[in-house]
Structure 1
Amino acid sequence: MRSRVMKAGAITVAAVMGSVLTGCGDGNEPTGAKDGGSPSASRNDEDRDTTAVRAAYDKTAEAESARMTVRMKLAAEGETVTSDGKGVLDLAEGDSVMTITAQGESLEQRVVDEVLYQKTPGRDAPGGKPWAKIDLRKVAAQEGVNNQRIGDPARTAAYAKAITDKDVTEVGTEKIDGVNTTHYRVSVDVTRLPGGDRMREQLGPTLPMQVWLDDEGRLRRQQMDMTVRTAASASAKPDTGAAPQQLKMSTVMEFSDFGTEVDAEAPPAGQVADMTDKALQQS
């Protein structure tokens, strides 16, 4: 079951969020929450907060690349799977190189030109190939979000456009890896996002999100906690490998070392087994 949950989670995140790299929060308590003030002051604060959050995606993308750590918690069918990852991310193209550890097992993961590649030591893909690949464009098309490239800055900018003044609340200030940040709670109207109608079916009307911005307005942490409803196969039977119908997902990505080098290359074609069709059947 765990492999099915992990695969369903990866495919759902790829289609819904435009990324297959997710994680879970660490539960740190924020400090320095805002005090109450006059209505006009509160209005100005809300405007400032919304402007900061909406601008964060562009300011982060301007750094071109970053080191990233990822933590993920997936729960379905009464079981929970956790994973940790670290690597580097091209913020402009969406390419990445990561090492993921889950349930005591590590795998190498790359995203290159919107294709996900995974290699698990000691476990070959079909045909004895060391690498398996999934075409994320086909996954996105099946999920109804095929109108923009996965990883395209325009796609992440869509989040900013979906955020209004009533959707942003400043929580306080925190340090992340020694860096001063401001913590915001954000509620995104999913119908304003690309593929919003499909996302509403899976997530409900809003996407709860938390972001931590540094003094330059860049994302240092982004956290999401959501319940994803997946489509049930009419022909699916128990223990056939079909994806679970509901996933609880707790995710966080943390960014540091902006401007770091990213060397993401696809494995040699002869070493890769295409698992896209199988993944689509389980998504």
Structure 2
Amino acid sequence: MGDDDTTVEVGAPGGDPHETVASAPRPRHTALVLLVAVAVVAAVVVGAILGLGGSGPSVAAAAVVREASRATLAAHSSDLTLSGSVVANGQTLTLSGSGALDLTQRTGQIHLTASGPAVTTTDDEVISGDQAYVSFTAGTTSVSTLVPGKSWLALPLPAAASPSSGAGGLVNVLAALKLLQSQGATVTSLGASTIDGVNVNGYGVTLPTSTLLAAARRATAAEHLPAAEARVALQAVRTMTMGLSVWVDDANLLRRLDLSVTATTNGTALDETMRIDLSNYGAPVSVSVPPASEVATLAQFQAALARLRGAGG
């Protein structure tokens, strides 16, 4: 996957591929919600590399990656950029984003964009302590059109982050970087390279389906997904093939995560690529928490969605 943003196709045959975003947005990152299974997988995989076990010839490489995870967490904060694509049924959705996070203080912010043939979705996320705030626009739909007078949605975060917990992109990254429990990974060396002029060494990671499935179950529970969506997500994990590479600099800091996933859900083949670049380690991260008067509660948002679905039914 190159540095340029890539594209993704989503949707059901003969239907509006962006109907979920435009007509019934959910209180999670609106772009990734289109592909719940892929969102779960991306978060799980990004985190899983930080708790690698290993055996045989992969032990040395796994040890390097484990040390990189420790150094990355010890650095406390970093900037990040994200790019990727999801493709299904001949429809393409392009994902891109940038932001910063502080793992120690649980603060961060990110701006995400999802562009497709029918609609562009923008998503701003802010984390402050145990609270996440999300503001999105999907076509003509936004927080303010659903809950007049409000432009942000408040979402409480769990005290202990889990894979894919929270509102969306930033929360997923924050949770994933704290996931240190995966076992059974195989790690191989990919050799030396450079990223933005920084010398790095790459490592390929293979995770067993059982590890991914266990993490996906935790993720769907943390997201409070409806049972039907959780089943779709877990089935996608069972059918997936995945490629993951990790790039580490001379200071043992993670610089890049590359992910590719193919999976089948409800008979539809999904193809995702995702890249997360980390930089500017240790820099202070400041966030602006929206005023309480501009923030809708989850209950208000859910009531608005229920009214929207009732009107459309």
TM-score normalised by the shorter chain: which range applies?
A: 0.5 to 0.7
Letter of the structure 2 residue corresponding to residue 118 of structure 1: S
Q: CA deviation at 1:223?
A: 1.4
Matches within 5 A, 1:246-257: 247-257=270-280
Partner of 1:188: 207
Q: CA deviation at 1:218?
A: 1.4
Letter of the structure 1 residue corresponding to residue 194 of structure 2: K
Contact 1:59 1:218 in 2 (8 A): yes
Partner of 1:109: 125
Partner of 1:127: 147
Q: TM-score, normalised by structure 1?
A: 0.66
Partner of 2:293: 270
Kindly tell me the number of residue pairs found equivalent between the two proteins.
239
Partner of 2:66: 54
Secondary structure in structure 1 of the residue aligned to 2:125: strand
Percentage of pairs with the same residue: 24
Q: Which runs of 5+ in 1 are unaligned?
A: 22-42, 233-243
RMSD, aligned CA: 4.2
Relative distance call for 1:246 and 1:272 in structure 2 (3 A) is farther
Pick from 84, 96, 109: which aligns with 1:97? 109
In the alignment, is residue 224 of structure 1 matched against residue 259 of structure 2?
Answer: yes
Matches within 5 A, 1:18-57: 18=43, 46-57=58-69
Letter of the structure 1 residue corresponding to residue 87 of structure 2: A
Contact 1:117 1:134 in 2 (8 A): yes
Deviations 1:163-219 (A, max 9, x none): 54xx11111111101100001110122533684363863323775311000011111
Secondary structure in structure 2 of the residue aligned to 1:128: coil
Contact 2:85 2:93 in 1 (8 A): yes
Q: CA deviation at 1:260?
A: 1.4
Partner of 1:118: 135
Deviations 1:110-130 (A, max 9, x none): 234363512449853412245
Contact 1:120 1:130 in 2 (8 A): no
Contact 1:130 1:272 in 2 (8 A): yes
Q: TM-score, normalised by structure 2?
A: 0.60
In the alignment, is residue 63 of structure 1 matched against residue 75 of structure 2?
Answer: yes
Letter of the structure 1 residue corresponding to residue 235 of structure 2: E
Contact 2:153 2:295 in 1 (8 A): yes
Relative distance call for 1:125 and 1:259 in structure 2 (3 A) is farther
Partner of 1:4: 20
Deviations 1:64-122 (A, max 9, x none): 00011111212233211112211111233554211223336654322343635124498
Letter of the structure 2 residue corresponding to residue 58 of structure 1: R
Q: Output the CA distance in 1 between the equivalents of 2:287 and 2:213.
A: 26
Secondary structure in structure 1 of the residue aligned to 2:58: helix
In the alignment, is residue 88 of structure 1 matched against residue 100 of structure 2?
Answer: yes
